[in-house]
Amino acid sequence: MVNGSDRFIVLSKFMSFVLRHKPQNFGLFPDQYGFVNMQDLLNALKNRYGKVQASDIEKVVQNCPKGRFEIKGEKIRARYGHSIDVMLDGETFQPPDFLYHGTSPAMKDAILTEGIKPMRRRFVHLSKTKEEAFQVGRRKSKNPILFIVKAREAYQRGVKFYDLGVVVLTQEVAAEFIQLPNELNG
């Protein structure tokens, strides 16, 4: 088992991978909302890393600044980022006027013509601030591009948004609701 402060980072990354993408590879079978039995996840963690306790999982969940995980009773799930088939069970919300999406500049033309699609995930991830979107985009490029999503307008036209704290999810965003920052004032 990894020790020290890296321990919880390693556990968090593995939990994200398992709960978002490959639960069946570790003997986990999520319900329709992505929840698995906490003991089953603990067993998968023990098989991978040795000595892991339920309190370790709880610390990962409590100390995750992005709210990636949720525990309900004896069950746990990743709240977003899934490539597996899960349903959202939260309420939709009326978004602010604008949300943001950061990504690689290579995606610029496709997004401006086709919109933002979930790609390998189940939902599009949007950020509430330009700064957060920029940080997300940095995972894809050293010099990410920032898109502004006219979220309130999209909502008024029937697009559903789900507020998960740091992340806002939606099925997809049509090109008509997307613009580049310099287009906002022009």
Q: At residue 99, does pLDDT exceed 70?
A: yes
Distance CA 108, CA 56 (A): 41
Pair of tokens at residue 160: 């559903």
- The secondary structure of the chain in percent helix, strand, coil, rounded to multiples of 5, reads 40, 20, 45
Into which CATH architecture does domain 6-78 fall? Answer: Orthogonal Bundle (1.10)
Pinpoint the residues of the chain covered by CATH 1.10.10.970. 6-78
Q: What's the CA dihedral at 68, 152, 185, 128 to 10 degrees? A: -10
Q: What is the CATH number of domain 99-183?
A: 3.20.170.30
pLDDT in tens, 18-64: 999 999 999 999 999 999 999 999 999 999 999 999 999 999 999 98
Q: Is pLDDT above 90 for 183?
A: no
Could you give the maximum distance between any two Cα atoms of the chain, in Å? 58
